[in-house]
Amino acid sequence: MDGVKAALVLFVASLLQLAVLSEYRQFRTASIVLVALLSIALLRGSVFGAVAGFGTGLLLDTATLGTLGVTALLLTVAGFWIGRYGETTARDRFHAPYVSVAVVTVLYAFGLVALQFVLGQPAPAGLVARTLPLALLINLLLTLPVYALIRRLFPPHELGDRVREVRLLG
């Protein structure tokens, strides 16, 4: 069930990014897809995050007619890494989604530059560095509503799975 919900949320986020937010130059540097993916990965763990990242990346690469696999690779790594963070040190920490979004926004931007460079495509690191503060700000502002919504859709496992009784063995 979580898989279907995640697919639906990320599909809607991708459509929002492609059809609405990319209309505005300021929002082009930010990404609601990245924020939604990281929120889901934080709440559902590394493997879930990696699979969700791969699927979303592939969807974006397909829709934009770009090189297949570029966004998929970056989002797979981002989803896995933040999922791992969610499984370990980030549990119940208020600042976890904000820290995750801030760090991954920076790493995603420079990861894309590095990948473009490896592929022999234009990789203007200076331009990315200049647009990064705005991207960071918008992504952090998006984190508050997006994470709140996704937390309602994907309640943390700890609450539902908490042990309610003790059964003696032997």
Partner 1 sequence: MGLLVLLSLVLITVSFRSTALDGAQGTAAAVLRPFEVAADRVSRPFRDAAGWTRGLIDAKQDNKRLRAENAKLRQQVILEESSIQENVQLRDQLNYHGPPSVADFDQVHTVVLTKPQNAIDQSVSIGAGSSEGLRVGSVVVSPTGGLVGTVDRLFAHLAHVTLLTDNQSAVTAIDLTYPTAVGIIQPGGGGSDVLVLDLVSKTKFVAEGDTIITAGSIGKDKLPSMFPRGIPVGTVTSESSNDINPFKNIQVKPLVDFSSLRSVIVLVPKR
Site string for partner 1, 29-68 (x = CB under 8 A): x-x--------------xx--xx-xx--xxxxxxxxxxxx
Contact flag: residue 76 with partner 1 (CB under 8 A): yes
Contact flag: residue 6 with partner 1 (CB under 8 A): no
Site string for partner 1, 128-167 (x = CB under 8 A): x-xx---x--------------------------------
Task: State which amino acid sits at residue 95.
Answer: H
CB 97 within 8 A of CB 143: yes
Q: Which among 39, 120, 38 is positioned nearest to 75, based on CA atoms?
A: 38
Choose, by CB under 8 A, the member of 32, 36, 38, 72 that binds partner 1: 72
For partner 1, the closer CB: 106 or 151: 106
Both tokens of 61, joined, read 């690469």
Contact flag: residue 89 with partner 1 (CB under 8 A): no
For partner 1, the closer CB: 16 or 140: 16
C-alpha distance across the termini of the chain, in Å: 35
| Cα separation, 111 vs 96, whole angstroms | 21
Q: Min. distance of Cβ 165 from partner 1 in angstroms?
A: 35
For partner 1, the closer CB: 68 or 148: 68
CB 101 within 8 A of CB 139: yes
For partner 1, the closer CB: 51 or 142: 51
Q: Which among 62, 67, 101, 70 is positioned nearest to 85, based on CA atoms?
A: 101
CB 136 within 8 A of CB 105: yes
How would you label 130-159 residue by residue, b for 16+ Cβ within 10 Å and e otherwise?
ebeeebbebbbebbeebbeebeeebeeeee
Residues lying near partner 1 in the complex (CB under 8 A)? 11, 15-20, 22-25, 28-29, 31, 46-47, 50-51, 53-54, 57-70, 72-73, 76-77, 80, 109, 112-113, 115-116, 119, 122-124, 127-128, 130-131, 135
